Amino acid sequence: MPKRFPAHGVKTHRIYTVWEIAECLRCHRHTVTRWIKARDLDADRTCKPWLIRGADLKAFLGHRQAKPTRRMAPHHCFCLGCKSAQIPDGNFAEYTHQTPTTGRLTALCPACGVVMSKVIRRTDLEAIQAKIEVAFQQAAPRLVSLSEPSSEVALGQEDQTHAKAS
């Protein structure tokens, strides 16, 4: 997932160099250079160091962060390998209960075979079951602390040391 860079520290009326942008955004200078070479970020490349207007940088960062989020159908899972929403392979997924209101849906991608997972609300489970087959899996047991700490302490024993006896 791409990193989000804050545009609030960028001054609109200032001219920046690649080094100044990297310092302001707390990223590497090669990242800024890559943006310029890809023609995503406008820069004056006729002189060294390359100069970037603050207004252009602010517009670039705003456009970069304003990419639309993907809305998926309840029975789709997002595959990180394919970078797209997919219906699980064989219309089959496993549901693991996590909290009283949510659970995790896990399935395989039909295109690349990568494991996809998605956190869903329990109220959406019936709508998902209408579209695909869902198997319920038991959640892994959690460690639970004792209700009362153990008070069995042997006070009558002598201290044992591992030092050499003289």
Instruction: List the domain range (segments joined by +) for residue 90.
Output: 77-137
Classify residue 32: in a domain, yes or no.
yes
Distance spanning both ends of the chain, measured CA to CA:
64
Classify residue 4: in a domain, yes or no.
no
pLDDT values of the chain reduced to their tens digit, one per residue, 166 residues: 457 788 888 999 999 999 999 999 989 999 999 999 998 899 999 999 999 999 999 999 888 777 666 678 888 988 888 888 889 999 999 999 888 899 999 999 999 989 999 999 999 989 999 999 999 887 666 666 556 655 665 655 555 666 665 5
| Domain match, 87 and 131 both | yes
Tally the domains of the chain.
Answer: 2
CATH of the domain at 84: 3.30.420
Q: Is 150 exposed, middle or buried (0-12, 13-18, 19+ CB in 10 A)?
A: exposed
Report strand pairing: 92-97 vs 133-137. parallel
Classify residue 166: in a domain, yes or no.
no
Classify residue 163: in a domain, yes or no.
no
